[in-house]
Chains A and B, each alone.
Chain A
């Protein structure tokens, strides 16, 4: 007899209990929740109005009135970070949505069909993949004009091949399994099998990839708005705040430090969350923990 170290499928409660013992997951989860709460709070309340310029208060360091200081127009940096979070999260979220919405069906379809269709789809995929994502995003926004919507589309397009690949690889591992053969013998078509059996079995894989792409999307959005190709003023965004701070680094370092920290902490939080989910759901890491 070989050693059948069978990995029991777990109940939801058991997974949850394990999730809260996983430090990476808990830290990531808390950070993500805080950032989300901050973005949502900005709809109803911010310490100051971010569209109002108060030149008399310009470039003040952190004080009790302005915790994170003010920028060169006298706007409160804390308020700007709160409103900017909205923008970052919205862009990254919709971009991940586009990537998943198009990429997953594409990858699952390629895996189900196989043969030439699969080959052709994946080579087109490789082509998109081969472009440096940020550079091409710059190109797209340069052609269609800067703005949050175009940034979403640009980042979204480059998420498609990532999800297509992950979905295809996952689906290819599921297709040769016997329960798929059993479903085929029961007369089910490929679409139905994909929806009923393949997708639920690769869902965790996609969830992990989703959090990673979300973090990358936030970075990409910051990059684009740093170049002035993202959300346009007066809408504040983390990337442009960094751009504004660049020339004033020596006189007003807080203008760069706080938005920079916002980006770092958000990306870190999302990556920890993704790592945590992967650890919890990956059967191979279970025994070590």
Chain B
């Protein structure tokens, strides 16, 4: 028998025989640690409990276990550490100051009134063609909050500096207009606040709480999809802000039109202001970002190493930062400059692994998703639903797995590579104005993970 289960059963029996107070005082946090040729080792949190179990409940425990587990010969008690702290992976505290000097004090700097982190400032914000529109709009908002672009909706994939930008707007407005009340929060915070206020029958104070601000920044709004009540509340909050010419800023990882189950009245309202996207940075901005980060660390690296990092890590800025952190950490540890070869070695793990997948599997997955016969995708047929599935397969193979056009054509029933190019382009174009297709692709992609 499983020892966990055994102890659970025993506890049920023991609990029946004593007062609740006694049980919860003495048997909470106990467990069977191991069983060793008939000796059962019971783990207890401290010596007080051990002594008491031995003196008072030893007979009861022995008997209960013996009834449930016939191989038992004896019961021993040992003191174990209760694993209630999940944070143990953290480095020993005193190491922190050396590895990352800012860490220990960082929390102190988050202002509880507005939740803004002063670290996010335009001083450290890199502008490139990938985000210059968003930056320009943000500057305009700081000049004239509430009038020019209201609401300001910013969207783009994760890790590209959305949070940085919107917090920087908050900080900028605070500096420029010190009497304006700014508040930053995530949608999740908004939602929990709302639910709490409902539970405590304080819906009115909730409304008051947020409406007193002059600038409201809500991060990660894309999760609002399923929360109907929250959408409604947000809608009202939004209206109040808008009517009073108070600025409101949202960030999301999707365009509002593609946020699933978003009420139309919110969609149109989001669209009424300014919607800007941030795309992944190009090579030059990546290099610039690396240089700024390095200055923060007060460390210098060879130009060629920087160029290497900027060219290989082409994902989000967060990945870029992560890779740089790895290198800086190694640098500090060794206390001498790293060579390019060492850097290459270090970054091996940070690069996105190129996924390898059999073309057949993709076909299978997609046909399964569209509820088609696997064979039909390979067939020469122009049935609409099959053609669509086939095109999706080609698109995925090309975009996600980097398979060459001719190879895709060859594997999918001897198509010409131009056919494949056309298919990919078609899906790409369709994606722009067909949110349904976007969702389908997303779901299929999840299946691959």
Answer yes or no: are A and B bound together in one complex.
Answer: no
Give A contacts to B, CB under 8 Å: none
Give B contacts to A, CB under 8 Å: none
